[in-house]
Amino acid sequence: MRRDGSFSEFGRDPERLADAWAAKHAEWQRVRDLTATAGWGAYEPEGGGRRRAELWLSAGPGRRIRAVAERAGLQPAQVLAQLAERVMVGEDGTVSVPPFTPSR
């Protein structure tokens, strides 16, 4: 609890909280519209820079990523990041990754 008796940085002002949620909602509408027309490759979150994502893989792909990472002396997340950097989206929406060797 904060000094003013509130539980968040928005204090006891519901309008501040509503404004923050409205801004988040507007950003996700922008993401929806952008990706619907241009695909995920066109999305750059406001502020740019690097992003962190959590990815859950089924057993087979997870084992393959771990094996590739081990062979390359990398962490699985590093292999996935290199894959993501190389993803290409065709005009018809097909997704592909050209062959490459993961490296440090």
pLDDT digits (tens, 9 = 90+) for 89-98: 999 999 999 9
pLDDT digits (tens, 9 = 90+) for 43-82: 666 555 677 777 788 999 999 999 999 999 999 989 999 9
Q: Is the pLDDT of residue 15 over 90?
A: no
Question: Residue for token digits 């084992």?
Answer: 63
**Which pLDDT band holds residue 41 (cuts at 50, 70, 90)?**
low
Position 57 scores a pLDDT of 86
Q: Quick one: DSSP state of residue 46?
A: T
Contacts 24+ apart (CB under 8 A), 33-39: 39/89, 39/93
**Bigger pLDDT: 98 vs 14:** 98
- Residues whose CB is less than 8 angstroms from the CB of residue 33 and which lie 6 or more positions away in sequence, other chains included: none
Between CA 58 and CA 65, with CA 64 as vertex, the angle to 5 degrees is 85
